[in-house]
């Protein structure tokens, strides 16, 4: 017997289950689209044209998604939970249904007074063992009495929504963990700047890009002056505070294309794509001035923090190591020149 023949001979409940399976297993639909499809499926199967997926927080009932013949319900709309039939679902912590409210024990309910909804079928949406909200269907017209299959179906619809919410939370948690591991792998724990490993990868990538497109590229190697004396005089916590200060100042001043990393100890490396020597010198002068002028104190003493800077200008045949080596030589020359200065070591200088 063909599939079509099977479908033709299936009961309405079996057809609804088959449609639910297609909806929930579709790779083409996202979560919101699947919920929308389930709301339409339930509305059609139960004969209740209004379908709502809600979130309940305390006494607040908020519409997450909805279908309505007159498009009268929008995501974000909120109501007092006690004014909705879903309050009965919450109280029972289970499916509740009323096929003719005017002739039921809840005919005095505010929802009937305010909205004249004669029929309602709703189930709690449970995610990770906690109630998230409800999945419910309603109508201004009375409907047939709900069967045991109806109750199981709406419970199944709501269960899938709850499982999917929990799954999405798990996926978000995994993504957050992945990003945190990535951050830890690429970030210096003291300063929050990128670490040397990440910068080396960036150097390789940007150097290749500079060669390919003929763009300038500058690296600046910055080293605190008299850093050992700072640690010896005031302790390593003060030295750490100086490094953190530099990280904050440089991050605040960083241009969109720049990349800054803690290179080693008290050394920092700034990668400046599409920047020539003049632009790099101007930027680094502002940066070192800002650090020097900061109100940095150690044991109530104001300490002036200065840096020596060496620049390396990328050449066509540079490797990462050769470029960094020139910046390192330039920084050494800056130290030799009396510190608190900047030097450029050109390739032709050897």
Q: Hey, what are 189's tokens?
A: 């724990």
pTM greater than 0.75 (yes/no): no
For 61-107, where are the alpha helices, taking DSSP H only? 86-92
The confidence score (pLDDT) of residue 9 equals 75
Which residue, 218, 222, 229, 273, is CA-closest to 246? Answer: 222
CB of 145 closer than 8 Å to CB of 99: yes
The confidence score (pLDDT) of residue 8 equals 59
Which residue, 271, 247, 249, is CA-closest to 258? Answer: 271
DSSP 106-152: TTT-HHHHHH---EEEEEEEEETTEEEEEEEEEESS--PPPPHHHHH
What CA–CA distance (Å, rounded) separates 180 from 169?
16
Annotated catalytic residue within 229, 266, 304, 349: 266
What CA–CA distance (Å, rounded) separates 74 from 214?
54
Residue 94 per-residue DSSP state:
S
Which strand (E) or helix (H) includes residue 313? Answer: strand 307-313
CB of 234 closer than 8 Å to CB of 256: no
pLDDT tens digits, the chain, 350 residues: what are they? 334 444 557 899 899 999 999 998 888 999 999 999 999 999 999 999 999 999 999 999 999 999 999 999 999 999 999 999 999 999 999 999 999 999 999 999 999 999 999 999 999 999 999 999 999 999 999 999 999 999 999 999 999 999 999 988 998 999 999 988 888 899 999 999 999 999 999 999 999 999 999 999 999 999 999 999 999 999 999 999 999 999 999 999 988 899 999 999 999 999 999 999 999 999 999 999 999 999 999 888 899 999 999 999 999 999 999 999 999 999 999 999 988 999 997 655 44
CB atoms within 10 A of CB 259: 20
What CA–CA distance (Å, rounded) separates 179 from 288?
32
- List C-alpha distances in Å: 64 to 133, 307, 328: 9, 55, 58
Q: Which of left, alpha, beta for 349 (phi over 0: left; psi -120 to 50: alpha)? A: alpha
The confidence score (pLDDT) of residue 27 equals 87
What CA–CA distance (Å, rounded) separates 336 from 127?
65
The confidence score (pLDDT) of residue 63 equals 97
Instruction: Report the side by side order of strands in the sheet with 78-80.
Output: 78-80, 60-67, 50-57, 130-139, 119-127, 96-98
CB of 272 closer than 8 Å to CB of 260: no
Residue 182 annotated among the catalytic residues of the structure: no
The confidence score (pLDDT) of residue 2 equals 38
What CA–CA distance (Å, rounded) separates 143 from 140?
9
What CA–CA distance (Å, rounded) separates 123 from 135?
5
């Amino acid at each position: 017997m063909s599939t079509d023949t099977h479908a033709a001979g299936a009961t309405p409940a079996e057809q609804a289950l088959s449609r639910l399976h297609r909806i929930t297993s579709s790779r083409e639909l996202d979560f919101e689209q699947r919920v929308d499809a389930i709301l339409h499926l339930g509305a059609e199967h139960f004969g209740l044209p209004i379908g709502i997926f809600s979130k309940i927080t305390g006494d607040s009932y908020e519409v997450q998604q909805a279908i309505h013949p007159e498009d009268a319900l929008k995501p974000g709309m909120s109501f007092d939970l006690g004014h909705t039939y879903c309050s009965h679902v919450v109280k029972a912590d289970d499916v509740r249904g009323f096929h003719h409210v005017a002739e039921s024990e809840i005919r005095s309910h505010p929802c009937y007074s305010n909205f004249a909804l004669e029929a309602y079928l709703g189930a709690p949406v449970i995610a990770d063992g906690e109630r998230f909200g409800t999945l419910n269907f309603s109508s201004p017209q009375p409907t047939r009495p709900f069967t045991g299959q109806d109750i199981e179906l709406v419970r199944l619809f709501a269960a899938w929504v709850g499982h999917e919410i929990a799954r999405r939370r798990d996926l978000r948690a995994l993504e957050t963990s992945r990003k945190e591991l990535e951050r830890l792998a690429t970030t210096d724990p003291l300063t929050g700047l990128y670490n040397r490993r990440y910068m080396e990868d960036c150097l390789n990538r940007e150097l290749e890009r500079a060669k390919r497109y003929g763009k300038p590229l500058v690296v600046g190697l910055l080293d605190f002056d008299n850093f050992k004396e700072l640690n010896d005089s005031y302790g390593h916590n003060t030295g750490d505070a100086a490094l953190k200060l530099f990280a904050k100042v440089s991050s605040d001043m960083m241009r969109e294309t720049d990349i800054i990393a803690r290179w080693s100890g008290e050394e920092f490396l700034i990668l400046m794509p599409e920047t020539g020597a003049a632009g790099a010198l101007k930027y680094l002068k502002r940066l070192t001035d800002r650090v020097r002028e900061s109100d940095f104190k150690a044991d109530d003493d104001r300490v002036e923090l200065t840096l020596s800077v060496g620049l390396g200008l990328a050449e066509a045949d540079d490797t990462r190591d050769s470029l960094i080596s020139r910046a390192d030589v330039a920084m050494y020359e800056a130290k030799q020149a009396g510190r608190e200065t900047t030097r450029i070591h050109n390739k032709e200088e050897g």
